[in-house]
Structure 1
Amino acid sequence: MCADTPEYKETLNLPKTDFPMRAGLPKREPGWLERWNKIDVYGKLRQKAEDGSRKPFTLHDGPPYANGHLHIGHALNKTIKDMIVRSHQMMGFDARYVPGWDCHGLPIEWKIEEQYRKKGKNKDEVDVVDFRQECRAFADNWVGIQREEFKRLGITGNWDDPYLTMNFHAEAVIAEEFMKFLMNGTLYQGSKPVMWSPVEKTALAEAEIEYHDHKSHTIWVPFSLAAGEGDLAEARVVIWTTTPWTIPSNKAVAYNEKVAYGLYRVDATQEESWTNPGDLYVFADALAADALEKSRVTEFTKLRDVATSEFDGVILKHPLHGVDGAEGFWDYDVPMIDGDHVTDDAGTGFVHTAPSHGADDYECFVKRNWLDRMTHNVGEESEFLSHVPFFAGLRILDHKGKEGKANNAVIAKLVEAGGIIARGRVTHSYPHSWRSKAPIIFRNTPQWFASVDREVGDGQDEMGKTIRERALNSIDQLVKWWPQTGRNRLYSMIESRPDWVLSRQRAWGVPLTCFTKKDTLPTDPDFLLRDAAVNARISEAFEKDGADAWYAEGAKERFIGDAANPDDYDQVFDVLDVWFDSGSTHSFVLRDREDGTEDGIADVYMEGTDQHRGWFHSSLLQACGTKGRAPYRNVVTHGFTLDEKGNKMSKSLGNTIVPETVVKQYGADILRLWVAQTDYMADQRIGPEILKGTADSYRRLRNTMRFMLGSLSDFDEADRVAPADMPELEQWVLHRLAELDQQVRTGYQSFDFNGVWQAVFNFATVDLSSFYFDIRKDVLYCDGNTDRAKAARTVLDILFHRLTSWLAPVLVFTMEEVWLERYPGEESSIHLTDIPETPAAWLNEPLAAKWSQVRQARRVVTAALEVQRTDKVIGASLEAAPVVHVREAEMLDALKSVSFDDICITSAIQLTGDPMPAEAFRLPEVEGVGVVFEKADGEKCQRCWKILPDVGQHAHAATCKRCNDALG
């Protein structure tokens, strides 16, 4: 609406604001960051809580690695955390956020080694402390870079004092936490198969593994019976394996009592075959035909069923038994054992068992107390050790992770010994190191473990006596899971997990601060030196000089002191699994810092779903071993970020989205809005088209905020109207605000940012822009200082404070811009305010029900007028004065009780209960309302554009009475 003549246009109360339509976020956001830093918003928020009036709320930050620029997953993760912190702060909490970084471990060490390789340097020739200092400097540099990248996204927090796992105090506490395991009896040294990277020369945790397709050798190997009776004595039991290199370490053959087996005779073969007519083999019935076909058998006969009871006590010969030149190396008994892990899905129904190179194999030997039968045939570079005949020095994988010579050599020797009946290749999913991307092997090595099933000798038994019991009980009794599927995933992992491998054969990390007695077995009670004074000296040294103190000359003697004879002990130089570092952060962040928590427990841990096997997992185990319970009350999980087609992002595919690029093109608020628009607890998608849609939603919201700012330019507190004195339309808006306030608070409390955004955005664009603002523009522009104009501006002021505070946790820059447009000032900031309390008295369900009917009827009227506009019968809705037929008396009364012509933005309207004529316009979804179009009668007011009979009859020419009165 706008006056037709210049002199009348000047009399309208049109919106006035300098708030620009175009946001220009990429250029303007850095200025707000500088301003927040200058006025110390984060510090001022902490000061607000000094009187104890605000309940603390702490989100503990899962530390990213300090080793590269941010990717889109980082941006998603930190933005969700920021929204959690900001929303709880604005709901009245003292919401603290201490950002942190994981600074130790293979990812950083690997980068330094890469630099060495490029220079032709050998890491092993560098002094360990010098090497560690290079790792520290590398991490420190990336902490600085990532900190600025995170801040650019609008992330609030204690950036001046983050936590770093390489800080001296952190290293001291990590060592102290490890020594609690030493003292409470859960630490032990064991020899068992672990996932081993020959490229990185270290054990790896499950969280450091990813699976890729890998082409492996497959071989079918027959085992002869060492002794037996009847037809079975002449038969051979056939195994199938995809790791020929493990055959030299075979110690048993497993079967399953639930699988059906048979005795098979070869009747005919192809010309070239490693089998002969008359040979007898035992297979699972479901797999016999396939195995025999692979060995080029053309005809065979099943002679009989073989009961698994016939395997009881059967001893087999190793396929390399008696081979010339082996000096009896494989001339040992190979027992047949039962195992639940054996299936008849693939292979032969029998599983070759090498307990030093497989988890199931190892467990079978643990069950039988056969650990003295373990082999130590493979070294840290995946090479066969010198004592292994024929294969000594041959590598399974080379230094780049490519196949070495070991597999082919083993296969060739088996062929020579008659120990193979078929071979092939298979492509299957195989574990790889997530760092080097190279395949790993399972290798038996002495490692340090934390037992999850030994009783923890610390007396903190409320959640259970063992780490596993405490973890499982914590999951169900102490923690809320968002989404609940996170509980199920972690519970099943903890329920079935083996002992925690704590040791890594690396240099950059916190060492396992313990000493072992020489010439003593690990099972001996005196094997480990357990002494509180020794531990205290280690802790004190680490606090002063960091973990490098462990490597100083004379460290062993200084730490052991008079507790024992240092010459009787060896110092352990393995470093802790980096997941132990990050799992311990609750102790030196939540427990020890002033901005930590009173009980050392976080309100929220929030990470990606992969952290069920990572940080959520290690933090739970670590805390259950030292605190007796989980270190968190809520665990929130986000999914993975995919491209627009739902594909995993990959540099090779060219479908990656870099946060910095989005920020430069659109601004950080658009990236933050994308986060809020996603259902982040599932996998989410991002790409150019999605970002365009996000930017469009942003523009629509910005227009809403701009209209409010312009209409409030002359708002005066003296003109504020009490809710009870407002027109029904304004009271309805207040009702919607009261509804939304509950929805927003509940949404923020349950970390549902998508729900909050959708509710507020729909309200702003549908209830406000398309309904309330559309209707009230006429009053705001044309009424002058009437009571209903004052009421409308009062509601706009109330809306302003709710919308800016509700959306401030999401659109941190834009809501600051909106706020400062009304409240400029050197230390003014929306982020220093709370969400206003909204009176429950504003809720008015009867009024809402009535206005639901009014809006339904309005939809029919506006749709009817749109037909006339499309047909060019009218140009604007003010040219109409429709007749509205309403069947239901209740709705008719509702429409008659309000200014329905103003609500429909027509110059006049006639409401009637008469039956609607056939030509009346209807909407199928709104029954009982029909509209007959009529043009408005009268002249057009040159100020408000309404067509009314009284125009021209007043002192001011060509105006209606309302406009004439406004002009005075």
Structure 2
Amino acid sequence: MLLCRVSAVSQTLARWGQRSHRGGGLLHRALSFSSSRCHGVSPGEGGAQPAETDSARSRYRDTVLLPRTDFPLKLTGQRLLDREVEIQRECGFADLYSWQRERKAKKEFCLHDGPPYANGDPHVGHALNKILKDIHNRFEMLRGRQVHYIPGWDCHGLPIELKALGDLGISGLSPLQIRQKARMFAEGAIARQKAAFQRWGVMADWDQCYYTYDGAYEAAQLNVFQEMHSKGLIFQGYKPVFWSPSSRTALAEAELEYNPGHVSRAIYAAFPLMTLPPKMASESASLEGVSILVWTTQPWTIPANEAICYMPNSQYSVVKRADSSQLLLMATERTANMAALLGTELQTVHTFTGSQLEGGFCRHPTVPDKEVPLLPANHVTMAKGTGLVHTAPAHGMEDYSVASQFNLSVECMVNEDGKFTELAGPELQNLSVMTEGTDKVISMLKECGALVKEEQCVHSYPYDWRTKQPVVIRPSKQWFINTASLKDKAKEALQKVRILPESARGSLLVMLDRRTYWCISRQRSWGVPIPVFYHRETGEALINNYLLLINLQYVA
């Protein structure tokens, strides 16, 4: 529509120009040319002649001052790469780092680079990271400082092992073969990434990089391990850890990502009160037939229950359902929520403080002839659930702390594949805990009348950031660093560190308080090994300074 309007206007002006300037002229020729182009007619058909048009163009082209350059306006493919390399060579990019290291400077700026991971091709994340750091290094160089920057690569770990093996998996391969394939993959990724970093002009000595698979680097790590072990900071323990069934390995918190849309089958389960707490013996008549109500988003952990925890200073109530004769014990402030959830009125029969529950025992709903104690704990909250926490020491960090305090059993019923073992009983054995295992546990609770309510719960849940699959918490014999003993020194050192933004300091301090141990072992072939020998039959670990020195000589 717009072109048609322009064409009509052009034709009108052309006719006006013909009447006003007999014999033709520049205005007439220009407008005729415009009109003919709008109708798809070439300049030589029905309008101005090509010779005249070219003459007009050449006449006015010289009046426009345009830059003249031999620089190509567009390069693609290999020509672009060749040109980049040529620019770097002409500008001396490769010599800039060594030049600034040789000049005299009063101060040195040292950048400790968090290394990229050697598990793939360079991408925009690498560019953002490296170029921003390079900008800062160049800024410090312009301030007259010597820049100390050694680039490197993190070459170990599960992502490289998974990508190196691909569809082959680890079946049929020896640990030595796995390491060879993983190293070849890492070396190829490093070569591609390094070429890209050089092409981007990042200032560094690219002939002097560090790689975590180098013998000297591994020897330095083992030296630190030896020093920490001699100070009693490293120990082997049987503790709950984040375990990835999809990767068959323990994970650190840094290797987790939380999925806020994870859907769990949350349940409210009743544990019949079998032994009354001594402080409530006088209320035996009103407490007859009472069940302790607990809530969990992980029903598969019910078979591993060893206790029910309460908050000593909170108020608790025994309530009676209006739609049945069932008596339930829960936190007083949670009764209104439970009434709405159950769709019935809850009549309060008795109210007391949590400390009065001490010494009580409940019957386990799925394990015959098993009773579990009522225990005080500070991690109990009233934000969700019933104010009474189902405690499975094998599958929770706080639960494990309670077990350590009260000498509870920490028995694992889940294997490395995330399936129930024979310890869970024949009904559950070999069932995946996150799927059919959960279904079966809920079915067992229904059969014995312990299931009070089931609901869909959308919440944040930890996933393995590599496989994007959910993880479980299960106890495993691993090697740990005793971070609790390092907490005070770490806090003292943190006060001397300038942190931007300052608000981040608080989260670091909270993390130091919360984390009492750090799992450093992994069930992988591609990595720096823990320098320990194990007894062939008993599995007992043998570790001492002599063995550490032998390992140091081997890798160095």
Write the distance in 1 (CA, Å) between the matches of 2:118 and 2:169.
Answer: 24
Deviation at 1:54, TM superposition (A): 4.5
Deviation at 1:405, TM superposition (A): 0.9
Kept after mapping to 1: 8 A contact 2:313/2:353 = no
Matched to 2:419, the amino acid is: E
Write the distance in 2 (CA, Å) between the matches of 1:417 and 1:168.
Answer: 60
Kept after mapping to 1: 8 A contact 2:355/2:376 = no
Deviation at 1:172, TM superposition (A): 2.1
Partner in structure 2 of residue 348 of structure 1: 386
Q: Output aligned runs, 1:602-641, within 5 Å.
A: none
Deviation at 1:158, TM superposition (A): 1.5
Partner in structure 1 of residue 544 of structure 2: 530
Q: Output aligned runs, 1:64-463, within 5 Å.
A: 64-113=116-165, 115=166, 117=167, 121-212=168-259, 213-228=261-276, 229=281, 230=284, 231-268=286-323, 277-295=324-342, 298-322=344-368, 331-368=369-406, 370=407, 373-389=409-425, 390-397=427-434, 404-453=435-484
Write the distance in 1 (CA, Å) between the matches of 2:453 and 2:536.
Answer: 48
Kept after mapping to 2: 8 A contact 1:227/1:233 = no
Secondary structure at the aligned position of 1:421 is classed as: strand
Normalised to the residue count of structure 1, the TM-score between the two structures is: 0.47
Secondary structure at the aligned position of 2:287 is classed as: helix
Deviation at 1:261, TM superposition (A): 1.5
Write the distance in 2 (CA, Å) between the matches of 1:487 and 1:30.
Answer: 43
Relative distance call for 1:165 and 1:246 in structure 2 (3 A) is: same
Deviation at 1:254, TM superposition (A): 0.9
Write the distance in 1 (CA, Å) between the matches of 2:362 and 2:93.
Answer: 78
Deviation at 1:517, TM superposition (A): 5.7
Secondary structure at the aligned position of 1:264 is classed as: strand
Q: Which segments of 5 or more consecutive residues in structure 2 lack a partner in the other structure? A: 1-66
Relative distance call for 1:29 and 1:491 in structure 2 (3 A) is: farther
Deviation at 1:319, TM superposition (A): 1.1
Partner in structure 2 of residue 401 of structure 1: none
Partner in structure 1 of residue 552 of structure 2: 539
Relative distance call for 1:421 and 1:359 in structure 2 (3 A) is: same
Relative distance call for 1:168 and 1:39 in structure 2 (3 A) is: closer
Deviation at 1:80, TM superposition (A): 2.0
Deviation at 1:395, TM superposition (A): 0.9
Write the distance in 1 (CA, Å) between the matches of 2:94 and 2:430.
Answer: 66
Partner in structure 2 of residue 764 of structure 1: none
Matched to 1:252, the amino acid is: A
Kept after mapping to 2: 8 A contact 1:517/1:529 = no
Write the distance in 2 (CA, Å) between the matches of 1:521 and 1:236.
Answer: 43
Deviation at 1:38, TM superposition (A): 7.8
Deviation at 1:93, TM superposition (A): 1.8
Kept after mapping to 2: 8 A contact 1:259/1:343 = no
Partner in structure 2 of residue 499 of structure 1: 517
Kept after mapping to 2: 8 A contact 1:261/1:307 = yes
Kept after mapping to 1: 8 A contact 2:319/2:328 = yes
Instruction: After superposition, give the CA deviation of every residue in 1:170-203 in whole Å (9 maximum; x if it has no partner).
Output: 1222222222222221111111111111000111
Deviation at 1:514, TM superposition (A): 1.7
Deviation at 1:25, TM superposition (A): 9.6
The answer to whether 1:56 aligns with 2:108 is yes
Secondary structure at the aligned position of 2:118 is classed as: coil
The answer to whether 1:468 aligns with 2:487 is yes
Matched to 1:178, the amino acid is: F
The RMSD of aligned alpha carbons is: 2.6
Matched to 1:224, the amino acid is: P
Q: Percent identity?
A: 34
Write the distance in 2 (CA, Å) between the matches of 1:505 and 1:172.
Answer: 20
Instruction: After superposition, give the CA deviation of every residue in 1:884-923 in whole Å (9 maximum; x if it has no partner).
Output: xxxxxxxxxxxxxxxxxxxxxxxxxxxxxxxxxxxxxxxx
Write the distance in 2 (CA, Å) between the matches of 1:381 and 1:39.
Answer: 50
Secondary structure at the aligned position of 1:103 is classed as: coil
Secondary structure at the aligned position of 2:394 is classed as: coil
Relative distance call for 1:89 and 1:248 in structure 2 (3 A) is: same
Partner in structure 2 of residue 463 of structure 1: none
Instruction: After superposition, give the CA deviation of every residue in 1:568-625 in whole Å (9 maximum; x if it has no partner).
Output: xxxxxxxxxxxxxxxxxxxxxxxxxxxxxxxxxxxxxxxxxxxxxxxxxxxxxxxxxx
Between the two proteins, the alignment pairs up a number of residues equal to: 478
Deviation at 1:498, TM superposition (A): 2.5
Q: Output aligned runs, 1:849-864, within 5 Å.
A: none
Partner in structure 1 of residue 529 of structure 2: 511
Secondary structure at the aligned position of 1:157 is classed as: coil
Deviation at 1:136, TM superposition (A): 0.5
Deviation at 1:430, TM superposition (A): 0.9
Write the distance in 1 (CA, Å) between the matches of 2:231 and 2:293.
Answer: 46
Deviation at 1:289, TM superposition (A): 3.7
Q: Output aligned runs, 1:782-931, within 5 Å.
A: none
Write the distance in 1 (CA, Å) between the matches of 2:551 and 2:479.
Answer: 19
Deviation at 1:293, TM superposition (A): 4.7
Deviation at 1:40, TM superposition (A): 2.4
Deviation at 1:232, TM superposition (A): 2.3
Deviation at 1:320, TM superposition (A): 1.8
Instruction: After superposition, give the CA deviation of every residue in 1:633-687 in whole Å (9 maximum; x if it has no partner).
Output: xxxxxxxxxxxxxxxxxxxxxxxxxxxxxxxxxxxxxxxxxxxxxxxxxxxxxxx
Partner in structure 1 of residue 4 of structure 2: none
Secondary structure at the aligned position of 1:429 is classed as: strand
Instruction: After superposition, give the CA deviation of every residue in 1:438-493 in whole Å (9 maximum; x if it has no partner).
Output: 1111111111101013xxxxxxxxxxxx422221111102x222332333332222
Write the distance in 1 (CA, Å) between the matches of 2:235 and 2:94.
Answer: 53
Partner in structure 2 of residue 777 of structure 1: none
Deviation at 1:308, TM superposition (A): 1.4
Deviation at 1:223, TM superposition (A): 0.7
Write the distance in 1 (CA, Å) between the matches of 2:330 and 2:313.
Answer: 14
Write the distance in 1 (CA, Å) between the matches of 2:75 and 2:498.
Answer: 37
Relative distance call for 1:467 and 1:517 in structure 2 (3 A) is: farther
- Which of 6, 23, 44 in structure 1 is aligned with 2:99? 44
Write the distance in 2 (CA, Å) between the matches of 1:39 and 1:245.
Answer: 59
Deviation at 1:21, TM superposition (A): 10
Kept after mapping to 1: 8 A contact 2:93/2:201 = no
Write the distance in 2 (CA, Å) between the matches of 1:96 and 1:347.
Answer: 55
Write the distance in 1 (CA, Å) between the matches of 2:92 and 2:524.
Answer: 40
Write the distance in 2 (CA, Å) between the matches of 1:73 and 1:424.
Answer: 40
Secondary structure at the aligned position of 1:190 is classed as: strand
Kept after mapping to 2: 8 A contact 1:472/1:495 = no
Secondary structure at the aligned position of 1:257 is classed as: coil
Relative distance call for 1:318 and 1:103 in structure 2 (3 A) is: same
Whichever structure has more strand as a proportion of its residues is: 2
Normalised to the residue count of structure 2, the TM-score between the two structures is: 0.80
Q: Which segments of 5 or more consecutive residues in structure 1 lack a partner in the other structure? A: 1-16, 269-276, 323-330, 398-403, 454-465, 544-968
